[in-house]
Structure 1
Amino acid sequence: MHELGVVFHVIKTVEEVAKENQLTEIEAVTLQLGEVSGVIESYLQNCWKWAVEKKSEILKESALVVETIPAVTFCEDCEKTYGTVEHGKICPYCGSERTYLQQGNEFFIKEISGC
């Protein structure tokens, strides 16, 4: 389960931002998580709850908000996009395998709400 390592990285980053901005408490952290990023949201949420309670005073009461970025694949032959999860690597429009993931494997800290 690599989600715990991801959570520790997010906590460290958020604590640094909080210090730079003289925040004393973080109310929420919003992450953008790609649909095929390999991070399981339920594991992430469980790790977050444990880690902020045990490892971070400034994040102790903070919520983790996750926004999902849909996975989209681009076909180089017909130049159309389609849902990656539904269709995989083969283009549903022309049958080509000359495709690549355009979005959906991201992991970003979008917003930090604090005071």
Structure 2
Amino acid sequence: MHELGILVHMAKTLKSLAEENQLTEIGGITLEVGEVSGIVPEYMTDCWAYYRKKEDIMKNSELKIEITPAVTICENCGKTYQTVKYGKQCPHCESYDTYLLEGNGCNIKEIEAC
């Protein structure tokens, strides 16, 4: 379960931002999670419910997760397509000369602070 490791790193970032901006409480976080990132949103939510209690600044915060769709581009025809639906092979020209453009990352999109 790498979700806990991601969460620990995210908490360090949040605490640092809170110190820099003299925040006393974080009310919520919106996290963008790529569709093919390997992160299981339910695991992340469970880890958040546990871990937020360890940090006073986040103890009442809510985690919102937004899924970012995976998009692949074909180097032969230049068209993009849905990665999960079609996989590695381009549905337009059937080439395998493709690469993932987006949808495998994890990003803090928004922080609600008090």
Give the TM-score of the pair, scaled to structure 1: 0.97
Residue 79 in structure 1 maps to residue 78 in structure 2: yes
Q: Which residue of 2 aligns with 1:31?
A: 31
Q: CA deviation at 1:7?
A: 0.7
Q: Provide structure 1 residue ranges, at least 5 long, that are not aligned to the other structure.
A: none
Q: Which residue of 2 aligns with 1:41?
A: 41
Instruction: String of CA shifts for 1:2-43, please: whole Å, max 9, x gaps.
Output: 111111111111011011100101000111111101111000
State the AA in 2 paired with 1:68: I
Q: For the aligned residues, what is the CA RMSD?
A: 0.6
Aligned residues: 114
The offset of 1:106, in angstroms, is 1.4
Cα offsets for 1:64-94 (capped at 9, x unmatched) = 1111110000001111100000000000111
Whole-angstrom distance in 2 between the partners of 1:83 and 1:65: 24
Q: Which amino acid aligns with 2:108?
A: I
What 5-or-longer segments of structure 2 have no aligned partner?
none
Detail structure 1 runs of 4+ shifted over 4 Å in the superposition.
none
